[in-house]
Amino acid sequence: MISTAIRVARVGSAAELAAAVLMVAGFPALMLAALVPSVPAFAAAAAVTYLADHYLHRKGSYLINRLGKVRAGLSIRFLIRQLLLVLLLARLSLADNLIYYGAIACFIAFYGLQAPHGALVQLIRNRRRMPVATRNVDLKSRIRIPDAPPRRLLHRSAEKMLHLDLFAVVGILLAAQVKSALVGFVGIGITVAVATLYVVALVPYVRGRKIPPNAERVLAAVDDWLGGYKPETVLYFSGSKDSAYQVNMWLDTMENLDSKPLIILRERAILNNLAPTTVPVICVPGGVHLMNMDLSTVRVALYAANVGKNIHMLRVPTIKHVFIGHGDSDKLASVNPFSKVYDEVWTAGRAGRDRYAIADVGVRDDDIVEVGRPQLAPIQTWQGVPEGRIPTVLYAPTWEGWDDNPGNTSILLAGENIVRRLITADPPVRVLYKPHPFTGTRSKEAKAAHQRITALVQKAAAERAADSRFATDSAAQAQVKAELARIEARIAQLAGTGDKGRDEAEATRDGQIDVARHEEVARLRAEWNDAYWRSFPTWEHRVITGSEPRLYDCFNVSDAMVSDISSVVSDFIASGKPYAVTDSAELGAEEFKRNNTAVRAAVILSNSAAELGELLGAVRDPAADPLAEDRKELKQYLLGPDEPASIDQFNTAVANLAIKAETRNVGQESRIAAATADAEKLANAVPGQRVSSAGDTDGVGTG
């Protein structure tokens, strides 16, 4: 029942639900206490509403947002409490008392101060919002960006301002209880004085040297930096904050380009979720600002997603535009007709080329280049199950997608069957469950199925831990966990607070990464990954969510995988390990393989998952694996040859396309020059009128 209430109220925990109930119930209690009247009861109810409101704000509760939508926002709740306090005074027959008038005057003045306070806060935030936000771009030497106001002044400023009425409320309640107006006026004085000081403290940040430079100066500084840096290859990306992984997967590739790289983002939310990188990053929310930016040295633009805002870059003719995507799969998104707007489409292997030919969506074969998948370099090739360890099977389903196609994900129809068969397998295997980060974001049914699968895995893990057949070296585990804690502490120390506590202007000014620290963090993350897998027994089932450990790390500790039609399958094929794919739409094995290239070397599962024995048999006895050779052939077909390395293929493709762009631009300049010369010749060829020394036009008399 509680879990149902939590889901309906869309709160995160039972404590959050309790706070919401107390806050909502507190206001009727306040009214009742005012009408009775009872000062102690009113004080108790007021305390409950203050504390519950504060707790929900600190938790960022969804309920707080919804209250604002139904005109029961933060300011209204405080105003109601203050009006009920005035009602209490009237019911206590204090309407003729000086404290009654003092209370009314206080609250009127208090709300009068909130207008300039809110205006100043909004003005400061607007002025400190940069037209262009950057990372690893030196703007500090070009423009002066002042420090932001102290965080305590702007962070949750409206809530802080409103809570200053607490002094007046407490003072007035004490005055009503002890029948002395003095203590009430002390509280009133403190509220008005502190609120006034809060407003005054904000004033310096809207004038003089504390104001950041205007948009024109910032954009000029960015153009000046671009003129000095001279970027050659741009990774362009636009999307929601949840799609940041699509650009993050290309950061290592950008760092290893032979040409000068630059990342251009269009949304601040993506910048805030961007993984650390040494590549310069420019976030340009405004289309006009982007179109006026000096990108004259850029020759190649790479696009990781097909979105509407791509048009702002695609319009630049001096650049060659390439769709690189954010994964390689047989989904319809991999053959989007929009792809024909690009100069080239880069695929991992021959499969991508054939996919476009079959789809016949207007992408010419000559415009497709096979470059491999540089991101797959960390994936290790399978050497068989290590001696003394039970096999590990990764279940990595994709999410439910934007429509209700049953073939999108196995979670809904097959997920629980898959997990049940794996956790009850004999001989036993270990299960790692790593769902797609979008799972359950659109479909309630998918979210519920994910929660049931999580519960199954966790229950099986607890039962296995209590089974005497599975021994644990507690001392070794404790030692590794201590090592893990040490690494995490060092990473946290190196990361510091990052951009937390800094506003956009400060983050832009100070956003140049410390390369040495970046490299140390990368080394520590590799050590963390190794320690993480050693921190629990090799037989322990595990639910893995979040960004760490990464999907490829899960690949490397697994001996087989079960998944759906997605780029995850194509990526896993790089390991050479056995895998299974679920035919959730029940097309039948042959039809499923005909429609989906990546499953041609897979064990095809029905929704009952009855075929899982074939996958487990291949893991336990690789010599008897009937699909081993098929996987080798499919790997090259999907991902290209192992040699040359994918990053080398990628760099070659960038260099070749840059030459095409330069050739086009030189040719265009020649054509323009020739056209200009022809126009001049034509103008000189037209005879003009000659003027005589007397000023008359030849042949025309004045008569």
Q: How far is CA 61 from the centre of its chain?
A: 20
pLDDT reported for residue 702: 41
pLDDT reported for residue 469: 83
**Sequence-ordered list of residues with C-beta below 8 angstroms from that of 176, at least 6 positions apart, any chain:** 39, 88, 89, 92, 94, 99, 184
Q: Rounded distance, CA 685 to CA 681, Å?
A: 6
Contact indicator for 457, 433 with CB cutoff of 8 Å: yes
- Judge whether residue 271 has pLDDT over 70: yes
Rounded (5°) CA angle 621-626-629: 105
Q: Rounded distance, CA 121 to CA 275, Å?
A: 30
The residue count for the chain? 703
Q: Rounded distance, CA 436 to CA 448, Å?
A: 14
Here the tokens at position 228 are: 């000095």
- Judge whether residue 224 has pLDDT over 80: yes
Helix, strand, coil percentages (3-state) for the chain, rounded to 5, are: 55, 10, 35
Place of tokens 């009113």: 42
* Of residues 69 and 469, more confidently modeled: 469
Here the tokens at position 517 are: 């620290």
Under DSSP, the state recorded for 97 is S
- Judge whether residue 2 has pLDDT over 50: no
Q: How many CB atoms lie within 10 A of CB 492?
A: 10
Signed CA dihedral, 501, 502, 503, 504: sign only: negative
Please state at what angle helix 515-534 crosses helix 474-495, rounded to 10 degrees: 160
Q: Rounded distance, CA 547 to CA 544, Å?
A: 9
pLDDT reported for residue 390: 92
- Judge whether residue 388 has pLDDT over 70: yes
Q: Rounded distance, CA 585 to CA 602, Å?
A: 16
Q: Considering only CA atoms, which of 539, 557, 564, 540 is closest in space to residue 415?
A: 564
Q: Rounded distance, CA 295 to CA 316, Å?
A: 9
Q: Rounded distance, CA 218 to CA 200, Å?
A: 28
Place of tokens 């290309």: 250
Confidence of residue 87 (pLDDT cuts 50, 70, 90): very high
Q: Rounded distance, CA 75 to CA 62, Å?
A: 17
Query: Residue 23, class by beta-carbon neighbours within 10 Å (0-12 exposed, 13-18 middle, 19+ buried)?
Result: buried
Percent pLDDT > 90 in the chain is 56
pLDDT digits (tens, 9 = 90+) for 536-582: 999 999 999 988 898 999 999 999 999 998 888 988 999 999 999 99
Element (H, E) at 490: helix 474-495
- Judge whether residue 476 has pLDDT over 90: no
Q: How many CB atoms lie within 10 A of CB 200?
A: 11
- Judge whether residue 1 has pLDDT over 50: no
pLDDT reported for residue 11: 53
pLDDT reported for residue 70: 75
Single pTM value for the model:
0.79
Q: Could you give the dihedral angle defined by the CA atoms of residues 562, 566, 568 and 570, in that order, rounded to the nearest 10 degrees? A: 100
C-alpha R_g of the chain: 33
Number of helices (H), then strands (E), belonging to the chain: the values are: 28, 14
pLDDT digits (tens, 9 = 90+) for 43-68: 999 999 999 888 888 887 777 777 77
3-state secondary structure 50-84: HHHHHHHHHCCCHHHHHHHHCCCCHHHHHHHHHHH
Q: Rounded distance, CA 530 to CA 229, Å?
A: 38
- Judge whether residue 3 has pLDDT over 60: no
Q: Rounded distance, CA 410 to CA 583, Å?
A: 8
Q: What is the mean pLDDT of the chain?
A: 88
Q: Rounded distance, CA 389 to CA 372, Å?
A: 33
Q: Rounded distance, CA 44 to CA 26, Å?
A: 9
**Sequence-ordered list of residues with C-beta below 8 angstroms from that of 73, at least 6 positions apart, any chain:** 67
